[in-house]
Every structure is written in structure tokens, then in C-alpha cells.
Structure 1
Amino acid sequence: MSDDGRQGLTIIAFIGSVFSPYYAWSAEKDPFAHCAMNVVLYGDRSRFAMTERRAASLDRGPDHIAIGPSAMTWDGTALTVRIDERGAPLPHRLRGSIRLEPRGFTEGPFHLDRAGRHRWWPMAPSSRVEVAFEQPDLRWCGSGYFDTNDGDEPLEAAFSRWTWCRAELPDGAAILYDVHHRQGGGQNLSLRFATDGSRREIRPPAPAALPATKLWRMARETRSDDGRSRVLTTFEDTPFYARSLLALTLGGEPVRAMHESLSLDRFRNPLVRLMLPFRMPRPLPR
């Protein structure tokens, strides 16, 4: 998120794209055959790109991953992301670079399910980001966040839904992650990290209601110190996913928080999966 709160950016490198309809429909279930660099710009020049590519388009090593013409590289100090993609359904070009410099690293991953099949590591919850795009013409600096996820089964097999929320604090960042298990029950993570990545104690915030999204009526809820929150902006309003900017209080601080709601019950609906190729194209093999 930019320092002035007007611009936002999300980048996800997928190996075995968890939201891919092609992956769900494939007989082989080969994750390397379903890779994508998802790039989303929010604000004055909104863009979305998520072209799915085959194994031949993937190159990876300990310090880099490249998917088609886009790549992430770690130099020991910062993560540099070079983007060269086309949007969908509108074929806008996205070309530019992002530099993410972590201020510190957290300890190992969290298990999100009882069986330990789904792992999440908020590796660098407090980072600085420099964004420089040529197409569209866009430059800003702001706060950033870097995490990794991996799993041994489809998300919809383990979870029915979840909400996630991250806010910058004066001395680090806070993350709220509430998952609902498909077999009942769930897990509520209330995490606070200092700037250097060390874990701090945080009092679990109270539930806070939010309105459903306007277009697809996606349910949203979060937590805050006083049980109150409000939606400042809705960035994504889709049949199974919503991303929003919230105003709430965490750790005694009034904050702006990036928030996501995911319904995996909706995602596994066959009609929803039929809509996805319009935003997630997969080029024909040559």
C-alpha cells in the first residue's frame, strides 16, 4: 500500500495455481503445469493479470523464480520483481519493477489445518516497497508484506472460508487470520510482529461485523480492539473473493488494514469456475 493510501499492489507467484479452473479440471494434477504470476494494481490505474503457463515457462532456484516473462529475484537484501504481463479480460500491458526490502524475518511457518497439510509463513510482515511501472506510468513507495503458502491438497478440501487482515503498526505489523475448517471448527490467529520480525504479544481482538460486498454479496467480517470496523474501499468484489481496505483499531492503534475474504464453498461451484478463464487465460500450446 502506498504511503498516501491511494495506490495498492498485490503480486503472487503460483506453482500449482490454487484458483486455476484448468488445474481443477486436469486429470494429471501436475502443479508444474499450472503456473502463474498474478499481478493486481489498485487505485488510479487499476489492472489485473493472471496468465497461466505450462512447466516449460517455469525456471526456479534458491534465489529466483521466473514464470514466463516475469520474475522474482532475491539478492540477500531485497526482493526484486520484474513484471511483463498482459491483463485480462482487457489486454492492458503491465510492465515494470518492484523492490521489496524486508525489515526483519519471522520464525517458521504456521499450520492452518489439524493435519498439517496447509502451511503459511508470514515471512516479512513489515517491509518497504518501491514501485516503478512503465506501463501504466506509475511510481510510488509504501509499506509491504511478504509471505509464502504451500499445501498438499486443494484449499477447498480443508477449508470452507477464511478472512485475513494485515495492518502496519508504528513498531511493526499485526496480522489476523481466521480459517474455518470444512469438517467443523477453525483457527483464529492473532499475531503481532516487531519491525525486526520478532513476535510480540497481542490481545485477541473482538469480532467486528462488516457489510457484504455490493455486487456479489460476499460476506465479510474481521476483528478489532473495540469490536468496530468500517470499509474504506472495496478493491475486489468477485463471486468468491473480496479484498478491502478497512479502518479499525489494533494493539491500541487506529490503523488502515488490508483485508481479504475468501469463500471456498463458492469457489468450488462449477458455475463460478466456468467464469474464471475470462480473467485467467491459458495460452494454447505451440
Structure 2
Amino acid sequence: MGSSQPARGPDFARIVPPNGYAWWYVDALSDDGQNGITVIAFIGSVFSPYYAFARRKGPADPLDHCAVNVAVYRSGGNRWAMTERPRGAVSRTMDKFAVGPSHLSWDGNALTINVDEISVPIPGRLRGTIRLVPIAITPQAFTLNQDGNHQWWPIAPCARVQVRLDHPRLSWQGDGYFDTNHGDAPLEQGFSHWQWSRGAMQDRTAILYEAQRRDGSRVDLAMTFDPDGRMRAFEPPPTVDLRRTGWRVARSVRSEHTAEIVKTLEDAPFYARSVVSARLLGEPVTLMHESLSLDRFKMPIVQAMLPFRMPRARR
């Protein structure tokens, strides 16, 4: 598994081939631990039932399946917006990416996300601004499989995020993270499942990335990033099994001691996002953690359920 030197910036104008994908991901936890947010901007939404159906009929256009997915985690009730839109609702340049009324922009120093969406499954306005300021930008991008058609770049493992939402009314700041993944083939063709987590430590950020490839081999990455962006790999500690979700999705994390689920943020038939308490490199760390089962994602019954959470707009 090699690494490369990507462009300095998210490159929203990158070419995405038929049946391929690209996504830009942001997450953050508030300093008081009470709130969280994730934003994923997709070209070729990898979890879209509409894109999966289109691929079954032949090569599909990823630009016809774009979305800005937003999840707001708060004590007053979580909100999700996952509306997919067609090519006519999308515009992009190297530094700007708009999908319908929501858009992302990069000015060389910060990423600004303006969100204007309707939440699902209970309709409600989700509108406001998320601003991410990297502490450092990393130069390393990682190839995740032998064919080289799935890549990951942790653009800003260390960042500060400001959240200012009008609907729901919410304002906070905290430690955040920004990365991008892209591939030339459907995600479920390359992998069966993965566990990923990141956490802000005392003077660095830790990232754990594990995936089971379809050929039986594995991705096992464990690394820290200093505030200057310097990466240091470390030997991952043992795997600690965590309790399964309500949908029985398996969860595990690497930890030097026992690990505990602090909060389950999302519990879906093939996916879970959690806040996990663990111990890495001698330090306690709170991790933003995700578990993904791509075998479950492929199941017809799961595909039939997804449109209730992921509507598709005509424009």
C-alpha cells in the first residue's frame, strides 16, 4: 500500500469516472462533549440506492448522484439531511462545490460549508454554516487496495470547527477533522467491511483505519498527526469488541485497555457512528468512530429501505 502527494486543497473539480465516487468528509465534536456534526459531500454517493440501481443497468454517471449529507447530533434531538440531486443541480470548480442550495468553498486557509437542506425522515429545516480551519494540511494520500482504485487522503486531521446553525438554533466550536476518499469502482466491490476512528489527543490526533478487502487481505493503519502535519505510524493495540448496535452491526476498536461506547450517534442497518472512549499511546482518548458493513449494504431489503432516509430531488 503506497502513498502519493496530492494537490494542496480539496480539488472539487477532480474527474470521477463512471461507477466511481469522490467524497469530502468533515466531522467535529464540541469542546463540552454535548454536540457533534458530520458533513459528507458526495459525487457518486456510495450509499445511494439510486446510484446502485443505475450501476446494475450499466456504467452510471456519478455526477447524476450527488449529495451534501449532514448529521447534527445534539441533546435536543438529532437531525439528518441526505437528499440526493441530479447533475443539473451540481456546479463545481477546483475550490467550490454546490449541490442544490448547499455548497462548500475552500479559500486556501479554511473550508466553509453553507447548508440549506430539509431533514429526514421528519421534515424540518436544517440551515447554517460550518467553518473548518485546519491546524495543518497533510501531504500523504494512501492507496487502500492493490488495484489502486480506492484512495484516502486525511487532508486536515487536526482542525478547529465553528458551527453556527439558524435551524435548529445551535452554536458551538470544537476539534474537527477533514478528509477525502475517491475511487474508480463501487466501494462494495473493493471491501466487505471497515472500522475507522479519529480522536484529538493532548498534542496530536490519532487515526485508526481498518478494512477487510474483497480479496481477503486487510487495511490496517494506525497513525498520529502532529499540529505541523507530520505523520507518525504506530503499532495498533489489540482489538476490543464493542457491543453490537440495535441493527446488530458489529463494532470494534483498537485500544490498549478496555474501551466503551459513550454514545451511539447513528444506528442504521449497515452503518453505525459512535463516540468511543479508548486508550492509545498511554493516553485516554475520545474517538469519533464508524463501523460499516458493505455486505449488508448490498442486501436487497436494505436497498429497499434506504429511500426513506435518502430521498432524491428532481433538481
Q: Please give the TM-score of this superposition, normalised by the length of structure 1.
A: 0.97
CA distance in 2, matches of 1:172, 1:80: 23
**Deviation of 1:77 (Å):** 1.2
CA distance in 1, matches of 2:213, 2:232: 26
Letter in 2 for 1:282: R
The answer (yes or no) to whether the contact 2:85–2:314 under 8 Å persists in 1 is no
Residue 164 in 1 paired to residue 196 in 2? Answer: yes
CA distance in 1, matches of 2:196, 2:314: 35
Residue 277 in 1 paired to residue 303 in 2? Answer: no
CA distance in 2, matches of 1:108, 1:208: 28
**Cross-structure match for 2:122:** 90
CA distance in 1, matches of 2:151, 2:100: 26
**Cross-structure match for 1:203:** 235
Residue 125 in 1 paired to residue 157 in 2? Answer: yes
The answer (yes or no) to whether the contact 2:112–2:132 under 8 Å persists in 1 is yes
Letter in 2 for 1:274: A
CA distance in 2, matches of 1:201, 1:111: 16
**Deviation of 1:111 (Å):** 1.0
**Cross-structure match for 2:178:** 146
CA distance in 2, matches of 1:99, 1:172: 21
Letter in 2 for 1:8: G
CA distance in 1, matches of 2:235, 2:219: 16
**Cross-structure match for 1:263:** 293
CA distance in 1, matches of 2:313, 2:91: 18
**Deviation of 1:127 (Å):** 0.2
CA distance in 2, matches of 1:154, 1:123: 22
The answer (yes or no) to whether the contact 2:86–2:313 under 8 Å persists in 1 is no
**Cross-structure match for 1:224:** 255
CA distance in 1, matches of 2:285, 2:104: 30
**Deviation of 1:284 (Å):** 3.6
The answer (yes or no) to whether the contact 1:105–1:198 under 8 Å persists in 2 is no
CA distance in 2, matches of 1:2, 1:251: 23
SS in 2 for 1:143: strand
**Deviation of 1:208 (Å):** 1.1
CA distance in 2, matches of 1:158, 1:105: 27
CA distance in 1, matches of 2:217, 2:252: 17
1:242 paired residue among 254, 272, 276? 272
Letter in 2 for 1:167: G
Q: Deviations over 1:147-198 (max 9, x none)?
A: 0000011111010000001010111200000000112121100011101211
CA distance in 2, matches of 1:248, 1:223: 8
Residue 3 in 1 paired to residue 31 in 2? Answer: yes
Residue 194 in 1 paired to residue 194 in 2? Answer: no
**Deviation of 1:108 (Å):** 2.7
Higher RCO (C-alpha under 8 Å, 6+ residues apart): 2
CA distance in 1, matches of 2:165, 2:280: 33
1:20 paired residue among 26, 33, 48? 48
**Cross-structure match for 1:35:** 66
Residue 108 in 1 paired to residue 115 in 2? Answer: no
Identity level (%)? 52
The alignment of Structure 1 onto Structure 2 pairs a total of residues equal to: 283
